[in-house]
Structure 1
Amino acid sequence: MNSPTSAIAAAAVQPLEAGFGFYVHVPFCVSRCGYCDFNTYTAAELGAGVSRDTYAAIVRAEIRKAAAAFDVRPKVDTVFFGGGTPTLLAAADLAAILAEIDREFGLADGYEATTEANPESVDADYLAELHDGGFTRLSVGMQSTASHVLKVLDREHSPAKALDAVAHAHRAGFEHVSLDLIYGTPGESAADFTDSLASAVDAGVDHVSAYALIVEEGTALARRIRSGQVPQPSDDVAADRYLAAEAALSAAGFSWYEVSNWAKTPEARCRHNLLYWEGGHWWGAGPGSHSHLPGVRWWNHKHPSTYAAALAEGMPVAGHEVLSDDDRYLERVLLLTRLASGMPVDALRPAGAAAVERVVADGLGVLEGDRLKLTLRGRLLADAVVRDLTA
Structure 2
Amino acid sequence: MPSSPLDLTNFSSLLTEEERMLQEAMSDFATQTLKPHIQDWFDSATLPAKELGPQFGQLGALGMHLEGYGCPGASAVAYGLACMEIEAVDSGLRSFVSVQGSLAMFAIHHWGSDEQKEKYLPKMAAGEYLGCFGLTEPDAGSDPASMKTRAVKDGDEWILNGTKMWITNSPVADVAVVWARTEDGYAGFILEPDMEGFSAPEIHKKLSLRASITGEIVLDNCRVPDSHRLPKVNSLRGPLTCLNEARYGIIWGALGAARDCLVTTIDYTQTREVFGKSLSNFQLTQAKLANMAVELNKSTLLALQLGRLKDKGELAPHQVSVGKLNSTRIALDIARECRTLLGASGITLEYSPLRHANNLESVLTYEGTAEMHQLIIGQALTGTSAFR
> How high is the TM-score relative to the length of structure 1?
0.29
Q: Hey, which of these two has a bigger chunk of strand by percent?
A: 1
> How high is the TM-score relative to the length of structure 2?
0.29
